[in-house]
């Protein structure tokens, strides 16, 4: 049974449709990324399923049941910047959070170890780095040992070191069997930590599935596709030749040559032979797995939602 099922969810702000008939299901024990540009409706969607915002139409269910207070208390959430007390220690802040939640005070020592803050548990919050503050916020989410975690932009504003810390923490929590639902606009992070992804643009669900399924779907068909990097002495002529390649999905000029996307039924050897028969000798030919960024741009285009 799906951890979260969303059916035709819509949210209107006057004439503006923040969400438009969005439907998908989150499988258990996955890291499910809700990906989209800023302003695409990700935060609105999380606000609705956590009952912070009221839905205009449609429905959602947690583990097949309607949302209720008891169910929501079993979900660890990080939807906004945590409101910790700056001059209290991390440990003291968690004690206050546990009392507000009504459970989890006995978990404080354990969650501080999970987020690698146990040695700094008595340090004041205002001495923490941004990454440490975010890890303390995740520790607060873990009080009560919830099976489901919901994060909105968990790496937002962090430096590369802080992003790496949160990334590894999310991977560890997933390995412990937790289901993690996270909204993000950072494609690289979603690709590195998520098992499944839903791409939303202007409130409309564009695609959903495992990361492998999303990456292996070409922009023009349901066939699997590959990304090939290639170059030659005359890249302009090479581009003209490649445009004649049967089955070609797209071709893009890069700083170092060209990138083509084509069905995986076309091999690198076939591309090399095709170019050679047209009188073009390749200087580089490299088959790559298509990146989530490439797929994202295929689906959404290159314009921001703002």
pLDDT level of residue 186 (50, 70, 90 thresholds): confident
CA–CA separation, 276 and 160 (whole Å): 43
| Count of domains observed in the chain | 2
pTM, full prediction: 0.77
Domain assignment present for 220: no
Residue whose pair of structure tokens reads 């935060």 in the numeric block? 43
| Enclosing domain of residue 102 | 4-215
The number of residues making up the chain comes to: 306
CA–CA separation, 173 and 156 (whole Å): 19
Average pLDDT, the chain: 88
Whole-number percent of the chain with pLDDT over 90: 64
Domain assignment present for 297: no
Q: Are residues 53 and 123 in the same domain?
A: yes
Supply the CATH number for residue 256's domain: 3.30.70.100
Domain assignment present for 304: no
Q: Are residues 111 and 254 in the same domain?
A: no
- The distance from CA 72 to its chain's CA centroid, rounded to whole angstroms, is 22
In this prediction, residues 258-278 reach a mean pLDDT of: 89
Q: Are residues 165 and 268 in the same domain?
A: no
Q: Are residues 26 and 89 in the same domain?
A: yes
In this prediction, residues 188-201 reach a mean pLDDT of: 90
| Confidence at residue 220, expressed as pLDDT on a 0 to 100 scale | 43
> Would you say 285 and 248 are in contact if contact means Cβ atoms under 8 Å apart?
no
């Amino acid at each position: 049974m799906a951890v979260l099922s969303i059916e035709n969810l819509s949210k209107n702000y006057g004439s503006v449709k923040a969400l438009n008939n969005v439907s998908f299901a989150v499988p258990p024990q996955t890291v499910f990324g809700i990906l989209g540009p800023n302003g695409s409706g990700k935060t609105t969607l999380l606000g609705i399923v956590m009952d912070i915002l009221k839905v205009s139409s449609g429905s959602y269910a947690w583990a097949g049941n309607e949302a209720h207070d008891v169910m929501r208390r079993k979900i660890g959430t990080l939807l906004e910047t945590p409101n910790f007390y700056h001059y209290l220690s991390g440990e003291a802040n968690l004690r206050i959070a546990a009392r507000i939640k009504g459970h989890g005070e006995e978990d404080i020592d354990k969650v501080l170890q999970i987020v690698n803050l146990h040695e700094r548990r008595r340090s004041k919050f205002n001495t923490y780095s941004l990454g440490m503050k975010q890890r303390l916020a995740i520790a607060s989410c873990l009080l009560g040992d919830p099976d489901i975690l919901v994060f909105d932009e968990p790496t937002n504003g962090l430096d590369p070191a802080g992003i790496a810390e949160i990334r590894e923490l999310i991977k560890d929590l997933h390995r412990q069997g937790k289901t993690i639902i996270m909204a993000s606009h950072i494609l690289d992070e979603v690709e590195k930590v998520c098992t499944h992804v839903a791409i939303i643009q202007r409130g409309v669900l564009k695609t959903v599935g495992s990361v492998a399924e999303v990456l292996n779907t070409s922009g023009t068909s349901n066939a699997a596709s590959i990304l090939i990097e290639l170059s030659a002495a005359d890249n302009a002529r090479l581009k003209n030749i490649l445009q004649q390649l049967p089955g070609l999905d797209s071709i893009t000029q890069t700083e170092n040559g060209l990138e083509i996307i084509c069905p995986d039924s076309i091999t690198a050897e076939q591309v090399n032979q095709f170019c050679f028969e047209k009188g073009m000798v390749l200087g580089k030919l490299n088959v790559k797995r298509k990146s989530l960024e490439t797929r994202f741009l295929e689906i959404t285009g290159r314009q921001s939602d703002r």
